[in-house]
Amino acid sequence: MSTLLRLSGVTAFYGAIQALKGVDLEVNEGEIVTLIGANGAGKSTLMMTICGTPRARHGAIVYDGQDITQLPTYQIMRRGLAQSPEGRRIFPRMTVHENLLMGAHGHASGMVGETIEQVFALFPRLKERQAQRGGTLSGGEQQMLAIGRALMSRPRLLLLDEPSLGLAPLVVRQIFGAIRDLNRSTGLTVLLVEQNAFQALRLAHRGYVLVNGAITMAGGGAELLARPEIRAAYLEGGH
């Protein structure tokens, strides 16, 4: 299995505050990797640092064999990464269809129609609602739209920041099921950040635990789920 993304010793700062303290993390081609951690651990910062904002101050980020640590964000995103950021950030006044088109930047129009059909197959609800404004969708539908929009660029690596946030268990299962189907059918590589540790580790091939800006544990998804310290901190007592 080849490594698609590798972070080595990555640090990131907001002014004087150090949010990442030397992160080592790998995502192999075709894998679903989950990063779990408490509020403020630095999960979103890690996702954003991969995309170049904030920039890593130390260490290296290598994607598909190339050092992207110093590249501007727009150049990083051109290389086949797509992000569905925390809090969805869809365009509320645009329709579902228009929101999806916004994700298709740079692709030929023939390809765009085909990709939209794939997104609709994954999330039939979006097809039914394609003329509705994004801002009037339910929370779960907005999350589907945010993921669908990220998929419109036909990424090799999909970065998902808390897709289950605020959603009912049934909707969470639908969304995680869609991620699993996509991974199995197309081999899409996924880096998933979650507080919903149970579902996210069950979905993942491998996982990492981020505490206070540093990775404290790594292992297979099932293996991490079985560890007493994970259960105590993230499953029974925690979230």
By CB under 6 A, tell whether 41 contacts ligand ATP: yes
CB 212 within 8 A of CB 42: yes
By CB under 6 A, tell whether 36 contacts ligand ATP: no
* 174: partner contacted, choices Mg ion, ligand ATP, none (Cβ within 5-8 A by kind): none
By CB under 5 A, tell whether 212 contacts Mg ion: no
By CB under 6 A, tell whether 195 contacts ligand ATP: yes
Site string for Mg ion, 38-57 (x = CB under 5 A): -----xx-------------
How crowded is residue 133: how many other Cβ atoms within 10 Å of its Cβ?
Answer: 16
By CB under 6 A, tell whether 43 contacts ligand ATP: yes
Among 29, 86, 98, 223, binds Mg ion (CB under 5 A): 86
Among 5, 7, 34, 37, binds ligand ATP (CB under 6 A): 37
Tell me which residues touch Mg ion (CB under 5 A).
43-44, 86
